[in-house]
């Protein structure tokens, strides 16, 4: 096994095989990730502001807001009004929804899997910014044109479901 650098750590597993432990990110890599995260937040800001506007009534009606610290941070809003509105959403009942860097979720049905799914949509919003709602609707329309389900065959939903399966 080649030694890839002085900062790599080696371990022996039970079979006496070497396992290379990846080196921690350099200062430059950490700085680049921070800049990319900030650019994603700014790029998605119009969506996030709209999401905050939609979440404001939830907060005013005995709701709460929490900061979700993940690869892409988000504000998580929940409360009785969120429960009521998500159960009666015009497109069908849902457990949560993401708008920019805002996640509005039902209190009783929010799980790590659902939050992981919604955080995938937050990352999509950070990537596509104000274009995201139009691309999402376009992906649903494309699925319908192919005779498929607009939700289950939407590429953004497929990606979010993959994130659920690969969460750590």
Model confidence over 18-32: pLDDT tens digits?
Answer: 666 778 889 999 999
Q: What is the pLDDT of residue 71?
A: 87
Q: What is the pLDDT of residue 166?
A: 86
Model confidence over 152-163: pLDDT tens digits?
Answer: 999 999 999 999
CA dist 148 → 91, 116, 141, 157 (Å): 17, 25, 9, 13
CB burial of residue 161 (10 Å; 0-12, 13-18, 19+): middle
Mean pLDDT value across the chain: 90
% pLDDT > 70, the chain: 87
Band of residue 36 on the pLDDT scale cut at 50, 70, 90: very high
Q: Residue 157: which of 134, 142, 133, 139 has the closest Cα?
A: 139
- What's the distance, CA 17 to chain centroid? 36
Decide if 85 contacts 92 (C-beta within 8 A).
Answer: no
Q: What is the pLDDT of residue 90?
A: 86
Model confidence over 81-136: pLDDT tens digits?
Answer: 999 999 998 888 899 999 999 999 999 999 999 999 999 999 999 999 999 999 99
Q: What is the pLDDT of residue 1?
A: 45
Q: What is the pLDDT of residue 61?
A: 96
CA distance 147 to 141: 10
CA distance 116 to 35: 23
CB burial of residue 145 (10 Å; 0-12, 13-18, 19+): exposed
pLDDT reading at 3 higher than 80? no
pLDDT reading at 144 higher than 60? yes
Task: Report the SS3 class of residue 46.
Answer: helix
Q: What is the pLDDT of residue 19?
A: 66
């Amino acid at each position: 096994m080649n030694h890839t650098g002085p900062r790599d750590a080696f371990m022996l597993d039970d079979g006496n095989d070497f396992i290379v432990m990846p080196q921690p990110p350099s200062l430059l890599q950490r700085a680049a990730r921070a800049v990319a995260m900030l650019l994603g937040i700014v790029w998605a800001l119009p969506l996030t502001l709209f999401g905050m506007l939609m979440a404001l009534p939830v907060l005013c009606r005995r709701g709460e807001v929490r900061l979700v610290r993940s690869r892409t941070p988000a504000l998580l809003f929940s409360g009785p009004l969120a429960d009521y509105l998500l159960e009666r959403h015009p497109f069908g009942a849902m457990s949560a929804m993401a708008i920019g860097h805002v996640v509005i979720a039902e209190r009783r049905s929010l799980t790590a899997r659902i939050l992981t799914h919604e955080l995938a949509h937050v990352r999509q919003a950070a990537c596509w910014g104000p274009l995201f709602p139009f691309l999402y609707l376009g992906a649903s329309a494309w699925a319908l044109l192919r005779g498929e389900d607009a939700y289950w065959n939407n590429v953004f939903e497929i990606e979010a479901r993959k994130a659920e399966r690969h969460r750590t």
